Chain A
């Protein structure tokens, strides 16, 4: 595989995209887990499918459509929840289903050939284009910048939002910003793991890291490292045995998580 790496652009793109995805997952995944936004993130991911379908229908880059739908979903859920006191679970469920429904509808309306949607649903890291890599890189850089520029604020926000509000910090802005970052991460992950599997890639590395440390920053750093190891090994296995990359990465990750927590329990 190593020689192939130098020879084939698609393999290089696969490696670079899993690297970017691992960094984003380590940071945003930790936040999602600690702020208990897992189902919210699942909702955003599935809503983005509507945008992907729209992209196909109107003939623009589907990922951009997915990005717009994801951001709109995130901001709407946050705003509606604040203003109407509707339980966010209910809202998330609605966005989730409507997004999928719209996606399927748009695609069926598109004339000509029916595109294969499995690469969006389950990811196909071996078909990541150079354009998509560029999008991933820019979004990833933005996420890393925003989180590290205000790390102490994020930590305080995740831990005790109300106290931050008492101190006079604009918590609503932080929430909107965070939800936008989550949407961006999901778009980054769509090609790597797919809409359906993205959530696993976000949550498994922090789950493993939390077995080793109780400090937020260390959980993020460890999650990035685990993410890189897991996605590279998944990629290797999937390339070698010619099986779907998204599923392979996630199954490898879950296996490592189960094994690690089992060993950890035996030691303690």
Chain B
């Protein structure tokens, strides 16, 4: 049984096709990297999985009793909004069913503190979110979803516009979380993708997908290679990772 199973999915925005013929199976505790050009439909794929967008056709099956955590692209909200770090984290604790005048419980607050300490952002708890570095902001967004202890994490470009140290820290953190969670991460950072992930998908309206335990071989990359981001794939990191095998890609 897979954590997420997508079959023959098509998603449109009006007449615009955002995704078509999407088939994807996400294994439990896998670390899936999702790459693809801007406008390729990566964010749309997440939104369908989250139930924010209804597909035109096809099915998205999420395993029963599984909690999905979402870390949206940091461009999806206003960073100047007057909210403090601790309040963003606690937001994850809001109940689906609303009860008038219900405040956060002591337990909620304690868990929020624990998560902030774990993510090393506790000292920032009273900062307004616009006063954080990119890496700190990402950790706040990850913290907001971690307070719910999700089984699957969806992260939308958590490392874009971070410097390389911060990128590595975020990926290290994801690897750590991956010990007991399934992780899906959209990214453009190819060097890191190949060091951390165990499966890879390229989304460009349709999907080129590879999933095999552990290693990514030149063969599997060939699939992905059909994706029109091949220039990115030719980066040094990929070549190094694949060694001589990588040469086979050029046919």
Contacts and interface: CB of A to CB of B under 8 A. Distances in A.
Given A159-B88, A162-B52, A166-B50, A153 B98 contact: yes
Contacts of B98: 150, 153, 169
A159 B96 contact: no
Contacts of A162: 52, 72, 76-77
A268 to B, nearest CB: 15
Contacts, number: 70
A259 interface: no
B101 A160 contact: no
Given A148-B101, A167-B94, A214 B14 contact: no
A34 B76 contact: no
A57 interface: no
Interface string A78-94: 00000001000000000
Given A159-B88, A163-B72, A163-B91, A216 B82 contact: yes
Q: Most B CB atoms within 10 A — which of A148, A152, A162, A165? A: A152
A12 interface: no
B101 A155 contact: no
Contacts of A130: none
Contacts of A163: 70, 72, 77, 91, 144
A156 interface: yes
B83 A216 contact: yes
A158 B70 contact: no
B149 interface: no
Interface residues of A, number: 26
A226 to B, nearest CB: 16
A153 B87 CA distance: 11
B52 A166 contact: yes
A112 interface: no
Contacts of B76: 160, 162
A34 B96 contact: no
B83 A159 contact: yes
Interface in B82-130: 82-84, 87-88, 90-92, 94, 96, 98, 100-101, 103-104, 128, 130
A118 to B, nearest CB: 37
B14 A85 contact: yes
B128 A214 contact: yes
A10 to B, nearest CB: 37
B131 to A, nearest CB: 8
Given A160-B76, A165-B52, A149 B83 contact: no
A215 interface: yes
Contact of A152 (B70, B78, B96, B104): B104
Contacts of B100: 149-150
Given A163-B91, A166-B52, A167-B94, A215 B101 contact: no
Contacts of B101: 148-149
Q: Most B CB atoms within 10 A — which of A85, A153, A159? A: A159
Q: Most B CB atoms within 10 A — which of A163, A164, A210, A219? A: A163
Nearest to A210: B82
29 contacts: A149-B101, A152-B91, A152-B104, A153-B94, A155-B83, A155-B91, A156-B91, A158-B81, A159-B78, A159-B88, A159-B91, A162-B52, A163-B72, A163-B77, A163-B91, A164-B94, A166-B51, A166-B52, A167-B92, A167-B94, A169-B94, A213-B82, A214-B84, A214-B130, A215-B83, A215-B84, A216-B81, A216-B82, A219-B82
Given A150-B100, A163-B72, A215-B84, 12 more contacts: A34-B82, A85-B14, A149-B100, A152-B91, A153-B98, A158-B81, A160-B76, A160-B77, A162-B52, A166-B68, A215-B82, A215-B83
